[in-house]
């Protein structure tokens, strides 16, 4: 499992805000689901901004609508 540096962690926060920016503020479960998927990809070594953003978008597509 790859160690994440502070630059990557900052990028993950930006990606999460970008991907989930349209969700209501109380959509904590959906944001958590998306964040976990982005983090999973980052920990496998994917650290390209575009790849991680795409992982977040894909996670948002499959998150149950009741969580949004």
- The position carrying tokens 């990028």 is 11
Q: What gap in Å lies between CA 56 and CA 60, rounded to an integer?
A: 6
- Tens digit of each residue's pLDDT (9 = 90 or more) over 12-31: 999 999 999 999 888 899 99
Q: What total of structural domains would you count in the chain? A: 1
Residue-range definition of the domain harbouring residue 36: 6-67
Helix (H) or strand (E) holding 44: none
Cβ neighbors of 61 (< 8 A, separation 6 or more) are none
- Tens digit of each residue's pLDDT (9 = 90 or more) over 37-65: 999 999 888 778 999 999 999 999 998 76
- Residue 53 in domain: yes
Of 63, 52, 57, 56, nearest to 30 by C-alpha is 63
- Residue 1 in domain: no
Q: What gap in Å lies between CA 56 and CA 37, rounded to an integer?
A: 7
């Amino acid at each position: 499992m790859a160690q994440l540096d502070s630059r990557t962690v900052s990028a993950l926060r930006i990606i999460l805000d970008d991907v989930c920016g349209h969700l209501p503020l109380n959509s904590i479960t959906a944001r958590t689901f998306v964040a976990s998927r982005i983090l999973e990809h980052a920990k496998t070594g994917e650290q390209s901004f575009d790849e991680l953003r795409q992982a977040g978008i894909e996670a948002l597509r499959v998150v149950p609508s009741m969580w949004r």
